[in-house]
Each structure stands twice: as C-alpha cells, then as structure tokens.
Amino acid sequence: MRTKIVAGNWKMNMNFSETKDLINALSAQSQTSDAKVMIAPTYTNLPSAVEALENSSIEVIAQNMHFAENGAYTGEISASMLKSIDISTVILGHSERRAYFNETDADLAKKVSQALANEMAVVFCFGEELEDRKSSQEEAVVKSQLKNALFHLEADDFKHIVLAYEPVWAIGTGETASPEQAQDMHAFIRKTIASKYGDEVADSVSILYGGSVKPGNAQEIFSKPDVDGGLIGGASLKADDFFTIVNAI
C-alpha cells in the first residue's frame, strides 16, 4: 500500500511567533485519517518547529535547498545544514522556484542527488503551465520534467521520493484540476515511472496533487485511485482547514 501524505507548504508566510501559534493550533487538532502529515515552514523557523513538534507525528520539512555540499553560495542552505537540525525531507522543484528563481531541470537533478546523498527524502514538484494544457502539451511537459530531473536515479532511490503534481495554472488561483484531470495525469505519471523503472516502483511511489486544494474539494480529489494525498499551500495556513484536508483522505 502506498503511503498517504498531506503536506503543508507554508511558502514565505508566518513569522517566528505566527509559526509558534500555528503549530500550537495544529497540535490541538485531532487526526482521524492515517495520512502522514508534513509541514514546511520557512528556513528561519525550522529549528523551533522541529523542537515544538518533537513528540508529534507531524514531520517538519524544508521548502528548498542548494545542490552543493557547501561553499561560496551566499544566501543558500545545504542538505547537511538541514540534516543537522533534524530535517530529513525537502521539497524540490516547486513551480515558484522554477519561475521566480530560474531553477532548471538540470539544477533539480543535482539537488535531488544531493538530497539523497545526504539520506534525505524529496517531495519533487512538477507540473505544466496553462499554455501547455491549452495546447495539449501537458503530458509531454510532465514527462520531460520527470525524465530530466529524476531519470538518472536508481530504482531503489524511489523509496525516498514523493512526487507532487502541481499544475501551475491551479496554484493559488482558486482553480483546481478536476478530480478527473488529476486522476488522468497521476495515472500518466505512474505509467511514465513504470516505463523506466517497472511496475513495482511505479505502484509504490506516492503521487500527491497540489493546486488550490481546500476543505471543500479535498475528499473528491483524494478519492481518485492514483492520488495519494496533497501538497497544500494557502489552506495549510489555517489549522482547521488543514486538518479537514488531512482527515479527508
């Protein structure tokens, strides 16, 4: 059985005290689903979040990291820095990183390798833009994103990879992929993984959907057979909403 996951990507939101408040509110929620729950606060709040959730099943993860082990990369954060504060999972390839910080598939291939070399797990994000979908190129785009950033990996590495399909046109727009669109793409992603690594790897990798998941639409999206959970932006900033989504799985 694949692991069900609901991860909250807080993006560049929540200062130090807001982070504490939100974590307190999350800790007070009760979980009725068996989903693995993750939250990704911003870098400066990671140590306090780790400490606050030490005895919780909620995992604190990072939003990004650099591809080098260390060195002259002003403003960047390495995998070993994250490991040293007990962060073992990192989000890589988010469309906002690709769009605003020019992250390429080639950069991401290096980041993924660096994370795995540091025994970290990766939530790997990818997804097409609106123009791609309008021109029916969404499958070709997604396939090339997977191929260019992940297909240098060994089959065994996929034990440490979670895929997060996030169509760019659905992120923060209030417009979600329909459950059918999400299912079709997730099935295509699984088929693409199977064609390179075989059915065993494809059937065991968790594929999350991200893009305007809300309490009102989560259950229908999560009910699709190839959707193994969600990567949640805006709705992860409210404890009630986030846990309604966690429990919708």
- Residues with catalytic function: 94, 166
Site string for ligand 13P, 62-101 (x = CB under 6 A): --------------------------------x-------
Calculate helix-pair angle for 16-27, 239-246, nearest 10 degrees: 40
**Residue 229 or 234 with smaller CB distance to ligand 13P:** 234
Shortest Å distance, C-beta 71 to ligand 13P: 28
Task: Give whichever of 68 and 121 is closer to ligand 13P, judged by the CB atom.
Answer: 121
Q: CB count, 10 Å around CB of 18? A: 14
The answer to the question of residue 42 lying near ligand 13P (CB under 6 A) is: no
Relative orientation angle of helices 138-150 and 105-117, to the nearest 10 degrees: 40
Q: Are 206 and 3 in contact (CB under 8 A)?
A: yes
* 229: contact with ligand 13P by CB under 6 A: no
CB 111 to ligand 13P: min, Å: 16
| Sites for ligand 13P among residues 141-180 (CB under 6 A) | 166, 171-172
Site string for ligand 13P, 196-225 (x = CB under 6 A): --------------xxxx------------
Compute the distance between CA of residue 173 and CA of residue 180 in angstroms, rounded to an integer.
19
Q: Does 9 bind ligand 13P (CB under 6 A)?
A: yes
Helix extents (H) in the chain: 16-27, 46-52, 79-84, 95-100, 105-117, 130-134, 138-150, 179-197, 199-204, 218-222, 239-246
Residues 172, 53: Cα–Cα separation, whole Å: 27
Q: Does 120 bind ligand 13P (CB under 6 A)?
A: no
Dihedrals phi, psi of 109, to nearest 5 degrees: -60, -40
**Contact with ligand 13P (CB under 6 A): which of 232, 245, 248, 249?**
232
Binding site for ligand 13P (CB under 6 A): 9, 94, 166, 171-172, 210-213, 231-235
